[in-house]
Amino acid sequence: MSTSTPRREFLQQSLAAATVWRLLPESLQAETHQDVSLKLSSFTVDITPPKGHSLCGGWIKPVVDVTDSLEAHGIVLQGAGKPMVLLAIDWTALANGGHLLWREKIAAAVGSTPERIAIHSVHQHNAPFACLEAQEIVHAQGDLPHIVMVDYFHDCIARISEAAKQSLGSAMPVTHIGQGEGKVDRVASNRRIYRDENGVIKAMRGSSCRDPKLRAMTEGTIDPMLKTISFYHQDKRIASLHYYATHPMSYYGDGLVSSDFVGIARKQLQKEEPGCHHIYFTGAAGNVSAGKYNDGSHEVRPILAQRIYDGMRLSLKNTKVNPVETVSWRSVEILPEVRSTFNKQDLEKVISNKEGSVVSRNRPSYMLAWLNRVERKQPIILSSLAINDLATIHLPAESFIEYQLRAQQLAPELFVATAAYGDGGPWYLPIKEEYPALGYEVSVAFCEPSVDDVMTAGIKQLLGS
């Protein structure tokens, strides 16, 4: 397609050609409980990959050593229907059948159901990008590096499930809930900022950027606020969940495993407040990174970490606390339409091309895994935990920041905190207006523009708007 094609014309053509996909019939599940006796337990599991393990899907240098550990941090909430679990993992992504398997395992361990388990990757890149289906596809080739070591994958979920189960015995009553936010200074910036006269992307300002022209440009569309939801037993803060939208990479590709600047910030806060379990969730950052403020040098990582830490501290300082009155959990199943350009035979041909690079062969394995998933009609779960007048929104994959901002606009009476990078199956999830603008993110989006309508309808249902 020529880059001179008007954006509006392209969008109209795309939407007219698209099959209308929708929420699955009667997919909304909702429970609201009043006068609850809410209890919370928390757990931490080391999920650092072994030496030689692939990082970021196998197309960057594998594990050589560990700068700092990768961890899984979760809470279990009891007392408002079946237990609810919120889990953040220091992985690039967890996708498709593997994401479902983890939710099933954790649900069985705590006596719940999979749709009440929300698992989100923080999305560091010196970390595993796990998809069992893609792993099976590349394994069959015989000459490609693994995507995930299967034994390691299953060991992680076995230990996480057991930790969640064991935590139930030390659950504490939750009497109060807190909500706070603080502006983060000079971290997030939009990646899709440099466009031609037709709005088409000319260059991406990535996670790091050394081009002075791109770095001098405006931050663009971001959410500058870091939001925190805190759980209290009387006046004691026992858990705080922090939400902020940016790609969390300073530098990567050197084989040195790290939770990067957001993980360093969280660990510092945890060290200072050992009696409160601090958990970090990455928001809808598909088109947001630190590129304006990050030149990729090693010196910048601690600077970015300090800015995230300061945002967490400010958010905690600004927290308003109220007694728990109502608790609800909502979930919606969606099944977006697979990208019309995906063809199974073509993808298999590219994957089996022994002359191709690892990335040119591994990446299509994820595409094929998504195509196969849509064919077998395994839905994505959107979910939301609401307590009083605050609500979390749990979104899949690399959702664009506009979904996060849209959720806040749809429910202005609520304090809405968004976690993305849930089920990583569909990779990037742009809004429909961005498809004709092209660019990297659109080129690796596995769904048609109609995904926007499906996602937005799901968010509306979760927020009751």
Q: How many residues in the chain?
A: 465
pLDDT of residue 279: 99
Which pTM does this prediction carry? 0.94
Question: Pairing between strand 65-66 and 256-257?
Answer: parallel
pLDDT of residue 136: 97
Contact yes or no for 369/134 (Cβ under 8 A): yes
pLDDT of residue 381: 97
pLDDT of residue 32: 85
pLDDT of residue 142: 93
pLDDT of residue 36: 83
pLDDT of residue 25: 59
For the chain, which ranges sit under pLDDT 70?
1-22, 25-26, 465
Instruction: Sketch the domain layout of the chain as residue ranges.
Output: 7-463
HEC assignment per residue over the chain: CCCCCCHHHHHHHHHHHCCCCCECCCCCEEEEEECCCCEEEEEEEECCCCCCCCEHHHCECCCCEECCCCEEEEEEEECCCCCEEEEEECCCEECHHHHHHHHHHHHHHHCCCHHHEEEEECCCCCCCEECHHHHHHHHCCCCCCCCCCHHHHHHHHHHHHHHHHHHHHHCEECCEEEEEEEECCCCCEECCCEECCCCCEEECCCCCCCCHHHHHCCCCCCCCEEEEEEEEECCEEEEEEEEECCCCCCCCCCCEECCHHHHHHHHHHHHHCCCCEEEEEECCCCCEECCCCCCCCCCHHHHHHHHHHHHHHHHHHCCEEEECCEEEEEEEEECCCECCCCCHHHHHHHHCCCCCCHHHHHHHHHHHHHHHHHHCCCCEEEEEEEECCEEEEECCCEECHHHHHHHHHHCCCCEEEEECCCECCCEEECCHHHHHHCCHHHHCECECCCHHHHHHHHHHHHHCC
pLDDT of residue 22: 53
pLDDT of residue 6: 39
Give residue-wise pLDDT tens across range 367-401: 999 999 999 999 999 999 999 999 999 999 999 99
